[in-house]
């Protein structure tokens, strides 16, 4: 059996053996031994849906009250005035045919989110097989295919996240950094869970949120008492 590190032993002493409330879970995460970098704090929510059926898909954009603490690089596919608006809003990469060509020929993917004006979608279709598997394809339902590029870029830069249930029915999402105050982490995760409840498919039956766990990047997952949320 592999020998446990001092950090792992300490974390096991801190992590509750039973499901706890959000406040206690966040306190436990922040009590764990710190690392040399500011760990992300993430939540995993197992939903009672079957994503194989389109009507049970849970997907959308959520603007967390206190952001995620992560610097997000935004690429915008636009021309003319809309390209200028994207630049003024703080977009990191802006282009049209030239940007599509970079993605195709140079495998250029130095960005985290993509926004596009509707007239660019036919052009972006050429690189759909590259963007799609990486979760980078812009989508009107997520507000990333829009003429209001200023609003879209500003929302992403301020901490908007995309959530999408995976094949196992689980939503994975960041809720901040360990350096955040406990109150800010609590507000972010509470807002996220409320938004997921709002997105509940009408056809979903039985318990909607089946399991919830919170963890830091290098930490142990902490189970949440469903009765407390």
Q: What is the pLDDT along the chain (229 residues), one digit of tens a residue?
A: 456 677 778 777 788 889 999 999 999 999 988 888 899 999 999 999 998 899 999 988 899 999 999 889 999 999 999 999 999 999 999 999 999 999 999 999 999 999 999 999 999 999 999 999 998 999 998 899 999 999 999 999 988 888 999 999 999 999 999 999 999 999 999 999 999 999 999 998 889 999 999 999 888 889 999 988 8
Under CATH, which architecture does the 16-68+160-228 domain have?
2-Layer Sandwich (3.30)
Q: How far apart are CA 213 and CA 228, in angstroms?
A: 13
- From residue 135, alpha-carbon distances to 146, 161, 202 in Å are 18, 12, 25
Q: How far apart are CA 15 and CA 136, in angstroms?
A: 35
| Contact between residue 157 and residue 69 where contact means Cβ atoms under 8 Å apart | no
| Numbered ranges of CATH 3.30.190.20 in the chain | 16-68+160-228
| Numbered ranges of CATH 3.40.50.790 in the chain | 74-157
The verdict on pTM exceeding 0.85 is no
Residue that the structure tokens 């498919």 belong to = 201
Identify the CATH class of 74-157.
alpha beta
146-165: b or e for each residue (b if 16 or more CB lie within 10 Å)? beebbebbebbbebbbbbeb
> Structure tokens of 79?
């021309």
| Contact between residue 217 and residue 39 where contact means Cβ atoms under 8 Å apart | yes
Q: Tell me which residue of 38, 66, 46, 90 sits closest to 221, measured CA to CA.
A: 46
């Amino acid at each position: 059996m592999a020998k446990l590190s001092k950090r792992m032993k300490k974390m096991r002493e801190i992590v509750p053996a039973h499901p706890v409330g959000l406040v206690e879970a966040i306190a436990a995460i922040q009590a764990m031994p710190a690392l040399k970098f500011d760990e992300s704090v993430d939540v995993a929510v197992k939903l009672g849906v079957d994503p194989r059926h389109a009507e049970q898909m849970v997907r959308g954009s959520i603007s967390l009250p206190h952001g995620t603490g992560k610097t997000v690089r935004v690429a915008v596919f636009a021309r003319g005035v809309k390209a200028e608006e994207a630049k003024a809003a703080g977009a990191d990469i802006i282009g049209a045919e030239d940007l599509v060509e970079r993605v195709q020929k140079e495998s250029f993917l130095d960005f985290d989110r993509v926004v596009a004006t509707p007239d660019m979608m036919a052009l972006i279709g050429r690189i759909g097989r590259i963007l799609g598997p990486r979760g980078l394809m812009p989508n009107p339902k997520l507000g990333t295919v829009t003429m209001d590029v200023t609003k879209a870029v500003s929302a992403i830069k301020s901490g908007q996240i995309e959530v999408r249930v995976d094949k196992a029915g689980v939503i994975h999402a960041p809720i901040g950094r360990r350096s955040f105050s406990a109150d800010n982490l609590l507000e972010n995760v509470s807002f996220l869970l409320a938004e997921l409840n709002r997105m509940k498919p009408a056809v979903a039956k039985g318990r909607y949120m089946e399991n919830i766990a919170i963890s830091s990047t290098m930490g142990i997952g902490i189970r949440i008492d469903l009765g407390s949320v």
